[in-house]
Structure 1
Amino acid sequence: MSAAVQAQPHTRLLLSGNDAIARGVWEAGAKIASAYPGTPSTEILESLALYPDLYAEWSVNEKVALEVAIGGSMSGARSFCAMKHVGLNVASDALMTITVAGVVGGLVIAVADDVGMSSSQNEQDSRYWGRFAHLPILEPADSQEAYEMVKYAFELSEACNTPVLLRLTTRVCHVKAVVEIGERVVHDITGFASDPRRWVMTPANAKGQIPAQIARETKLLALAESSPLNRLEDGKDRRIGFVTSGPAYMHVRECFPDSPILKLGFTYPVPVGLVEKMASGVAHLVVVEETEPLMENDLKAAGLSRIHGKDLLPRLGELTPNVLVPAINGLVGEPLPKGSVYPKIDPFPRPPTMCPACPHMGVYYSLSRLRKQVQISGDIGCYTLGAGHPWNALDTTISMGASMGIALGMDKARSAETKDKGVVAVIGDSTFLHMGMQGLLDIVYNRGNVTTIILDNRTTGMTGGQNHPGTGKSLTGEDAPRIDFAKLVEALGVAPERIRTVDPYLLPVVFKTIKEEIAVTAPSVIITTRPCVLSEFYDRQPPFRVIDETCTGCGNCIKVGCPAITVKRTETRNRADGTSHELKFTTIDTAMCTGCRMCVESCGPKAIVPAQPTAVAQQ
């Protein structure tokens, strides 16, 4: 049991925003919690699973996760669901209907926006779901507020018969702060009460619920205007007043401590009356919001003048001090402090790469050798890194599960130049179960000439190694049924002879298998079978080293892409025809090497051999 669970009332703990939310959900008496892992929201469910008297699960995708939470709420249980911003797109169908039907037990949805796109394919502003789905939005600025707001969100949900969105950002999710915690309240499950007019969303029944949804917005607006989560902080420098929310508030308070600030925690519906009160006492009003001008546009539409926002501040990335100070100083005509008080820090560049012995490298090494013969559609996961150096083996990456649908479109839109090329879709095991099965079914149904490679590394790798139905383990680490991918794809219609299972460490076998399958004019699937090197299923082997005297500098081992292999020295030599070429003599970091043998298989002169016992002992 975690220290957080054992803590007595009013204990102070150092918690990240994600951990604080988990604590708040548990204290609120929630009984059901579901999620699909996605940075920056992943740790909420991992932390919540440590608490007793609560059911928590990794769902196969965000839509299913929300549906599980909805089912719990319908049954009278306080229910919670977590996802990152792009996950809410996946869950939106269920979301848009439950906002009409309403809730029984409180239903809270935590959605984490990746402001600055540190680990996402886009930067969307989830506050727009408040307007789109007619939902209240709460925005914490730190861990303490995250803890308090999620508890209040359950009360608000039940009081207004609505799901509540808790909008987070990466900074709130991952930054730690001291949080004063309490104890769990008892919230019994009342049980499901059959009411087809409410829960069976036929058009006739849904139409009957819309007036209540509209009336709810009036109530929510009144609550936003009077909510203690929205507070006006006075200041003596009245040249500029700020309206802000979330972690942007922290930056504004730090940079402009003498200015009035309207700090919003209940951000949708926008409390226009409170903003008008602020605006009446300042020369200029600046709306500081990450990332879209949602509040700014609403305030302008309400008739407020002298408003600044995205005319001064960017719509991309965090509004940190080094962004705020130049923009606001320019507005009031003040020079920047000498030397800049808030210098921009450029960290040492470190491009992302795969781990030593990552089983994905063998596939991408082979695809890179076939580059002129294939079009390659990628997906979202660790294997997205196959687009980078040294493989350069992806042509597209759009969204979770999109690789196969896009590959089918490529197949059906062949030109004279691409008619003889193979079309390959690459997808991971967790992603295939998340949203990929439908794409493969579509390929089979529409007779697509596509080879799908399922990279089964037995984990959800990119988000930190979470379990899924293909791992044989549940969220809590208990044994669970494990999906057989070969049987699954056969059930989806792929012919048994076109289902190939390969060891990705055997490079010649991988290369030969891919080449054979792209030559077949029928749907085919290749499944790789090595676990992630960071998972509990990986079996580390003794390391290898390079014999300097035998190495010819061909550089084949570098092309595998393993970060344990580095270039020790280079030489430029002339060929017999007078042209020059560069030789790359390599070395292997035995502390990083896990003995996968992929580099051994790529080495023509056999210069890579097991490390000496002394090297093994040094590990």
Structure 2
Amino acid sequence: MAERSFAKEVEKLRLGAGEEFAGEGILAITKALLQCGVGYVGGYQGAPISHLMDVLADAQDILGELGVHFEASASEATATAMLAASVHYPIRGAATFKSTVGTNVASDALANLASGGVTGGALIIVGEDYGEGSSIMQERSHAFAMKSQVWLLDPRPNLPSIVKAVEDGFELSEASNTPVMLQVRIRCCHVHGHFTAKDNKRPPMSVADALATPRRDTGRIVLPPASFLHEKEKVAKRWPAAVDFIKSRKINEMFGPDHGSVGIVMQGGMYNSVIRALQRLGLADTYGDTDVPLYVLNAVYPLVDDEFLAFCEGKQAVLVVEEGQPNYIEQAFAAMLHKAGRGTKLVGKEHLPMAGEYTGQVML
């Protein structure tokens, strides 16, 4: 049952190239999916991502016109299993549910999907129900991404960045034959803003087309001996392809001066909080121009060694702002510095809370 009606708002999904879209983050994600030529979408209700399902349910006419299949799944596991269509067919598919309870339920399907790999882009949009306003246990989706080697995007919480993350997610998935998880936090789901729209695209191959011409690659089925080859593919082919894509597309961003004795690294979702704290300290203005070099991780997994080490060049110390625990990113960066023999001091959880949401008050 829908939490609310978006019957009026979904008309914005018809906006074409050059028109300005204004609205909520959830609606922007839906528009981005249609602009990317998604072929099918499914999911399971659960805050903070529930409204995405509501939007899709209210947009049936628009989805039908584009040939997009929508399915309200019986569980997070069935929503993820649906993405198997993108294993054998060049169809872009998306699934959505809350996390981490949803990723717990979907864990087996997620592991199998990641093992066999995908041909069409597969995007898993997870509502990160963490921190203030959460209704579940306090865990991170990051662990699930690393466990199954699913790439994890955590965009800056503004509409242009969110829309770009959807586009990047599909292309990253196709470039590396790996499903991609797009993490949207509670505030990110409901942030309001605007972006310049593009035309919606019909999927080059629809679900109906796939059903009319069935195909199957037994080498993608997760059983021995194929499963052993899948693991080798992950390390030798898919991971390097993902890193190359992230670097070439500049998915991660750097702001502020090119040089400085200190710098800050953060998850993309932490950008607004960090900038606000810097504003309060007189180190940034209301437009985000900062006196402190910032390295913003819109892709938090995999990390890019070259980018991080280049950011650390000439710096005495770097602060890692990583919400939640364990401190996966901080540990990985510490290992990079150690292996490279760099003297840059890395600080993080010893100055910031180990657990809990990094609100504006915490950041100060």
**Structures share fold, TM-score greater than 0.5:** yes
The structure that is helix-richer by fraction is: 2
Counterpart Cα distance in 1 of 2:90 and 2:247: 29
Counterpart Cα distance in 2 of 1:186 and 1:139: 27
User: Which secondary structure state, in structure 2, belongs to the residue aligned with residue 307 of structure 1?
Assistant: strand
User: Which secondary structure state, in structure 2, belongs to the residue aligned with residue 178 of structure 1?
Assistant: strand
Map residues 340-355 of structure 1 onto 2, 5 A cutoff. Answer: none
Contact kept? 1:248, 1:320, Cα under 8 Å:
no
Map residues 38-187 of structure 1 onto 2, 5 A cutoff. Answer: 38-49=46-57, 50=59, 51-52=62-63, 53=66, 54-71=68-85, 73-85=87-99, 86-141=101-156, 142-187=158-203
Contact kept? 1:32, 1:72, Cα under 8 Å:
no
Counterpart Cα distance in 2 of 1:212 and 1:36: 31
21-30 or 296-305, which moves further after superposition? 296-305
Map residues 279-294 of structure 1 onto 2, 5 A cutoff. Answer: 279-292=312-325, 293-294=327-328
Counterpart Cα distance in 2 of 1:237 and 1:102: 40
1:311 maps to 350
Q: Deviation per CA, 1:553-599, whole angstroms, max 9, x where unpaired?
A: xxxxxxxxxxxxxxxxxxxxxxxxxxxxxxxxxxxxxxxxxxxxxxx
Distance 1:223 1:72, change over 3 A: closer
Equivalent of residue 223 in structure 2, options 166, 181, 202: 202
Counterpart Cα distance in 2 of 1:235 and 1:297: 26
User: Which secondary structure state, in structure 1, belongs to the residue aligned with residue 84 of structure 2?
Assistant: helix
Q: Which amino acid aligns with 1:214?
A: V
Counterpart Cα distance in 2 of 1:73 and 1:80: 13
34-43 or 224-233, which moves further after superposition? 224-233
Distance 1:268 1:319, change over 3 A: same
Counterpart Cα distance in 2 of 1:172 and 1:294: 22
2:281 maps to none
Query: What percentage of aligned pairs have identical amino acids?
Result: 26
The TM-score normalised by the length of structure 2 is: 0.83
Counterpart Cα distance in 2 of 1:272 and 1:77: 32
Q: Structure 2 stretches of 5 or more lacking a match?
A: 1-6, 279-283, 285-290
Aligned length: 324
1:214 maps to 235
Distance 1:206 1:232, change over 3 A: same
Distance 1:225 1:237, change over 3 A: closer
Counterpart Cα distance in 1 of 2:259 and 2:76: 46
Counterpart Cα distance in 2 of 1:101 and 1:173: 30
Map residues 588-607 of structure 1 onto 2, 5 A cutoff. Answer: none
Highest RCO, 1 vs 2 (Cα 8 Å, sep ≥ 6): 2
Map residues 566-581 of structure 1 onto 2, 5 A cutoff. Answer: none
Counterpart Cα distance in 1 of 2:359 and 2:261: 21
User: Which secondary structure state, in structure 2, belongs to the residue aligned with residue 184 of structure 1?
Assistant: coil
Q: Deviation per CA, 1:180-233, whole angstroms, max 9, x where unpaired?
A: 21112233226342222223x222221232221112112222333443221221
Q: Which amino acid aligns with 1:167?
A: Q
Distance 1:6 1:226, change over 3 A: closer
Distance 1:194 1:123, change over 3 A: same
How far did 1:269 drift?
1.0
Q: Deviation per CA, 1:504-543, whole angstroms, max 9, x where unpaired?
A: xxxxxxxxxxxxxxxxxxxxxxxxxxxxxxxxxxxxxxxx
Equivalent of residue 12 in structure 2, options 4, 10, 23: 4
1:188 maps to 204
1:537 maps to none
Q: CA RMSD in A?
A: 2.0
Which structure 1 residue ranges, 4+ long, deviate > 6 Å from structure 2? none
User: Which secondary structure state, in structure 1, belongs to the residue aligned with residue 106 of structure 2?
Assistant: helix
Contact kept? 1:115, 1:316, Cα under 8 Å:
no
User: Which secondary structure state, in structure 2, belongs to the residue aligned with residue 203 of structure 1?
Assistant: coil
2:333 maps to 299
